[in-house]
Structure 1
Amino acid sequence: MAELKIQVVGEGLGLTLPKEVVEQLHIQAGDSIRLDKLPHGGYRLANLDDKLSEQMELIEGYMHEEDA
């Protein structure tokens, strides 16, 4: 788990990702990432180009549908 500190950036809020998170997401300055809301109320950061993340989102959606 990485603790992230919220900072004022212009008129909004931002945060700095630790080096290990940047490396795991395979991102660099200027890239876009996705913040996915999980069925149980948590969140997950994902690289927009991450096919595995898309597949996991589909699987979690199917699992959530079966719980209903």
Structure 2
Amino acid sequence: MSALKLTQIGNSVGVILPKEILAKMNLEKGDTIYMTEAANGGFRLSPYDDEFERQMEAARRIMKKRRNVLRELAK
């Protein structure tokens, strides 16, 4: 576990992530991270948007099911 300190950034408050955490999460300056509420009442930070991933999985199922239609439309 890492303790992170809140710091004033302009009119907002932010968290500075150590280099080691950025490297493990494969993040760079300007990247977006997502915070989701965990079942235990805590929060989780992730470079992946869970909602977007669910939408993409639905799209993949549709594309697989309708592969022939999509192939015809691509002509």
TM-score, normalisation: structure 1:
0.67
**Rg comparison, structure with higher value:** 2
**Corresponding residue number in structure 2 for 1:6:** 6
Moved over 3 A (4+): none
Equivalent pairs: percent with the same residue? 37
Indicate the SS of the match to 2:28. Answer: coil
Could you tell me which amino acid in structure 1 is paired with residue 16 of structure 2? T
Higher share in helix = 2
TM-score (structure 2 length as normaliser): 0.61
Instruction: Provide the aligned C-alpha RMSD in A.
Output: 2.0
Deviation at 1:48, TM superposition (A): 2.8
Greater RCO (CA < 8 Å, at least 6 residues apart): 1
Gaps of at least 5 residues in structure 2 are 55-75
